[in-house]
Structure 1
């Protein structure tokens, strides 16, 4: 569920296709996207039985530990692109504003937090050329929880 007003438009990120843009100002630490209608959650072992280009793999994100939520309906949330300098923070399926974000801001998150431990995205970061490799769960949770506390402490 995307909380603020938004639009989908051409991404400002090279080779990214479309992106999700705010249509209103959003304050630092506010929820931009919250999980809703999660009807399918699989362990990683089951997910990996499917080819990487399958609808199951393409529509999955790491939710917690080795469990993935699947959303094959392709909601507009799929237009949140990757950045190593993201505008927002992914934490346990929620996306929080990383700073005070004015209308027109493209929402990006660090995909290292939404893919499995050691998983490598099939593309590189288009700005830095770096590989995007999933963090181990403990590092993932430590990073996102610490960052979230920083966002909330500043409010």
Structure 2
């Protein structure tokens, strides 16, 4: 679920297609998206064996959710300098977000360890490679603690 008012529109990131934009001010540390209706998680090995690989996102450890449809949360794009912080399935505002800000997260937190995204970062050209669970959890926890004090 997306908590602030939002809209889906053309992304400001080259090659990204559409993006998710907040339609109201969101203070740093506030929740932008929160999990809802998650009925099952999957081990990465289950997803790799699946003939139809749907959009997958890591939630914790080796557990992922799948999106067989395309919910609006899927319009959150990648950035190495994100406006949102992905932490255990939530996206928190990584800084004060004025109305009209595009929500981005660092996809390395959503990918399997070592998994490479099909595209490179639009601004740096660097590969986007999934972090290990300990790296992801430690860095997102430190960033969230700094945000909320």
Q: Give the TM-score normalised by structure 1.
A: 0.94
Equivalent of residue 125 in structure 2, options 120, 126, 129: 129
Aligned to 1:87: 83
1:110 alignment partner in structure 2: 106
Segments of structure 2 that go 5 or more residues without pairing to the other structure are none
1:33 alignment partner in structure 2: 33
Deviations 1:63-110 (A, max 9, x none): 110110112221100000000000010000000000110000000000
TM-score by length of 2: 0.97
Q: Distance in 2 between matches of 1:19 and 1:11?
A: 4
- The answer on 1:20 being equivalent to 2:20 is yes
Pair 1:45-2:41 in alignment: no
Instruction: Tell me if structure 1 keeps the 8 A contact 2:54–2:67.
Output: no
Runs of 4+ in 1 over 6 A off after TM superposition: none
CA distance in structure 1 between the aligned counterparts of 2:83 and 2:15, rounded to whole angstroms: 18
State how many pairs are aligned.
Answer: 149
Unaligned 5+ segments in structure 1 are none
